[in-house]
Structure 1
Amino acid sequence: MTAASAMDAARPQLRGDIVLGPAVRSGAALVHNVKDPAAAKYYQIGPREYFIMTRLDGRTPLKRIGLEYAEEFDRRLGEEQWRQILTSLAGRRLLTGSGEVAAPGEAGPAPASAPDRRTLLNARVTLFDPQRFFGRILPFLRFLFSAYFVVPALLAVTALQVLVAVKAGTLAGEARQLWEAPAAGLAVMLILWLSVAVHEAAHGLTATRFGGASTEIGILWRFPVLAPYCRVNDVLLFRRRWHRVCTAFAGLFASLLLMLPAAPLWMLAPEGSALRHAAAALLLFGSLSAVANLIPFLQLDGYFMLNHALGMQNLRLESYRFIRLALLHARQRDAGTAQRLKTYPRRVKLIYSLYGLGSIVFGAVLACWFAYWLLTLTLSFF
């Protein structure tokens, strides 16, 4: 048997624990996220690599995969190209029989999400891996994911937000009175901080419910905020967009649910009491936090919900890149930028344009408001 025929007859197999994610849009291209659980790494591959990897089942010969590839992409893979592909996969320890998997700290291809760099203004400290904990409590909390709970809960938190909107002036006036009760004010701050912990845990629990994993829980320092966080990179691997959107929404939903007891507490507490003022502050600041989380131009839950709903990744960054490219083309009118713009589908061009312009306008309005507030505050001292 010649080397070429031996290559055609080969039946390589992808490791059974490798997880291949669905196609998502990143810039003009489609990409797939890949998880190697044993090495605790994530990769990004293109549609061609994904096409090949999904067919490496240990039963299908390379010759047949090559014919299917040529039919799909109108291009044949030669012996040398197959050798390079298989060498690359074996080098990453993604094939069965390619040796021990790499340890998490060993060098390898760039992961889908770059590791965090600690600075004085931005840092993360990992506390523990929560997956075992989530796996243990999930059987007791499955009712939280049923329509019998979710629908009434959504109606309740919606009604609560309507109440807060109607009574916003009253709530703001009573919340200010917490300056006269520092102990109650500290209690409110502690409850709000703990609600963030529940918020983050809800992301992880929902990811576990949909078959994913949460790799770490820790403390995030993003000046001037110190808050808990839960990393759920597996959301990028969920086949259903609905599951990705729900995982992103779960934290906000949990925060809103925690606010529900504050409403009857505020209504029943005696007027002028510290308890009523504390309940007012919880309702007001909890609602403001919920609104902020839903703004898609901030990189919070609303932003990731929009990414997942549109089947995209890095929407903000890619929108800015597209707008810069469009402006460059408008100024230079060269063939290179024109060709790059043609690689973007029409729908993607529209989404990037609308989001990018909306983000710029939002940032400008926010900067103007902050400048006006700072000027007003400065003038008040004179």
Structure 2
Amino acid sequence: MVDSLFSESWYRVADLRPRLRSHAQIHRHAYRGRDWYVLQDHSTGRFHRFSPEAYHIIGLMDGRHTLDQIWEAACAALGDDMPTQEEVIQLLSQLHQADVLQTDMPPDIADLLKRHVREKRYRLFGQLTSPFAVRIPLFDPERFLSATHVWVRHLYGWMGIVVWLSVVMSAIVLAGIHWNELTSNLADRVLALENLFLLWLIYPVVKALHEFGHAYTVKHWGGEVHEMGIMILVFVPIPYVDASSSSAFREKHRRIIVGGAGIMTEAFLAGLAMWLWLSVEPGAVRALAFNVMVVAGVSTLLFNGNPLLRFDAYYMLSDYLEIPNLGSRSNRYIGYLFQRYLFKIEDARSPVSDIGEAAWLGLYGVASFVYRLFIVVRIAMFVAGKFFVAGVVLAVWGLFSMLVLPLYKVLKYTFTDAAMQRKRGRIVAVGSMLAAFLALLVSVVPVPSFTVAEGVLYVPENSRIHARADGFVTQVVLPPG
């Protein structure tokens, strides 16, 4: 909250008559026992969350009342929760930047073009800083999904649940019974050259069905899916769909089911593959079934089923905890802790909106960063083992996006924000101490260092003793060694 109720810039916007554009729609959600309002922009597919106080102001924006009249009405209605003029200006700016606000003034075409170019540049920059996952949109699947939804709608009921449980649970039991046969010499079987080619062909197909699981679930509950494309994940093309319209669903369990629909689809495929693997003789079909189990099982556990990566389980966890934007808000919370307790900035604003969120935001922020860094290093090392130059490039690229770029943003914020500038001396001192500690940790603390190499041990020919006649050993006088 700002201290003054009035703003020096109010005269610039007081006479505007704002209203929301027709492509903006507001939904009421409940998060941790408190009402929040989610604005859905149908033209871009983006969502914006507002408090009840902000929603009250937005609700008064009908294009007839001036902003000054809206503010006075909001102050009269909200009482102690009345917004300041500066907060109303910030809300207006947020709606303007989201391109969901329309006023009685003619649109600034140059500003619209500038925002469009800036948005495209931001998306490109986001792809460049995510070397392991690059998205390429291809087409709008909405019409196809609407036409074919009738074929799968019966799966969203008790019959579908019973069939899914029967296949998956029985497959788990069978996998336990045949576990030794399934895992025997697993690494050599999976990483064999001919099997890698088969995996490369199977993976996109399984993931396409995974994404259609999301898409049809969104359609089943009235949502829309307007983007489908290819994501290049560590050089492997994987289909993806934009199922973000599920964020408009008011019921939490529906949003969670949409997030888990892909995992459930893959589990069902793995169950069918298990039955097929048991039913056929060794050969191409059995190898195909085995690889489907590997793709649908292992990759789901490591990636889609891991909430520390921003895939399916992340969104499920976010909805379950009722903490929207869990990843970005956890990063902001870590930044707030640094500002408040290390840099002693008293007016630092916490992103926590409920007392129960703090522990989750702190825990998730640290755990997800460590795990993502671990994944980047492991992938780079794996690729470097096969293609050294490519592995080094990926490692540098990944570390730049995860360490160098965030550090640059922090430094830029430190030297441009007014509150941070007042504490510049303390910030430099604390930063120097942290840098010195990390340097000491890297240079002084011993870590294991080893190299694995193949070797051959043999006994020289002149040291071998051969018996000149046939016979039997009846007694060993001296044991070997």
Query: Structure 2 length as normaliser, TM-score?
Result: 0.60
Indicate whether 1:353 and 2:426 are aligned. Answer: no
After superposition, where does 1:42-57 map in structure 2 within 5 Å?
Answer: 42=46, 44=48, 46-47=50-51, 48-54=53-59
1:129·1:217 contact (CA, 8 Å) conserved in 2?
yes
2:217·2:258 contact (CA, 8 Å) conserved in 1?
yes
Indicate whether 1:19 and 2:19 are aligned. Answer: no
In structure 1, list runs of 5 or more residues that go unmatched. 1-9
Distance 1:139 1:106, change over 3 A: farther
The residue type equivalent to 1:20 in the other structure is I
Structure 1 partner of 2:213? 202
Structure 2 partner of 1:71? 77
Indicate whether 1:192 and 2:189 are aligned. Answer: no
Structure 1 partner of 2:123? 115
Which of 268, 271, 288 is the equivalent residue of 1:260?
271
2:231·2:237 contact (CA, 8 Å) conserved in 1?
yes
Query: Structure 1 length as normaliser, TM-score?
Result: 0.74
Rounded to whole Å, the distance in 2 between the matches of 1:83 and 1:298 is: 36
Displacement after TM superposition at 1:347 (Å):
0.3
The residue type equivalent to 2:58 in the other structure is M
Displacement after TM superposition at 1:14 (Å):
4.6
Choose between structure 1 and 2 for higher RCO, CA contacts under 8 A separated by at least 6 residues: 1
| Mean CA deviation greater in 367-376 or 313-322 | 367-376
After superposition, where does 1:234-313 map in structure 2 within 5 Å?
Answer: 234-270=245-281, 272-292=282-302, 293-313=304-324
Rounded to whole Å, the distance in 1 between the matches of 2:283 and 2:365 is: 47
1:245·1:305 contact (CA, 8 Å) conserved in 2?
yes
Rounded to whole Å, the distance in 2 between the matches of 1:249 and 1:256 is: 11
1:21·1:236 contact (CA, 8 Å) conserved in 2?
no
Percent sequence identity over aligned pairs: 23
Rounded to whole Å, the distance in 1 between the matches of 2:326 and 2:280 is: 45
After superposition, where does 1:122-161 map in structure 2 within 5 Å?
Answer: 122-161=133-172
Rounded to whole Å, the distance in 1 between the matches of 2:351 and 2:76 is: 24
- Size of the alignment, in residue pairs? 363
Distance 1:43 1:246, change over 3 A: closer
After superposition, where does 1:357-368 map in structure 2 within 5 Å?
Answer: 357-359=366-368, 362=371
Distance 1:198 1:86, change over 3 A: same
Displacement after TM superposition at 1:88 (Å):
8.9
Give the root-mean-square deviation of aligned CA atoms.
4.7
Displacement after TM superposition at 1:372 (Å):
10
Displacement after TM superposition at 1:133 (Å):
1.0
Distance 1:322 1:80, change over 3 A: closer
Per-residue CA deviation, residues 124-153 of structure 1 (Å, 9 max, x unaligned), is 222111111111111332112112212441
Displacement after TM superposition at 1:42 (Å):
3.0
| Mean CA deviation greater in 127-136 or 366-375 | 366-375
In structure 2, list runs of 5 or more residues that go unmatched. 1-15, 386-447, 456-481
Rounded to whole Å, the distance in 2 between the matches of 1:90 and 1:360 is: 32
2:227·2:242 contact (CA, 8 Å) conserved in 1?
yes
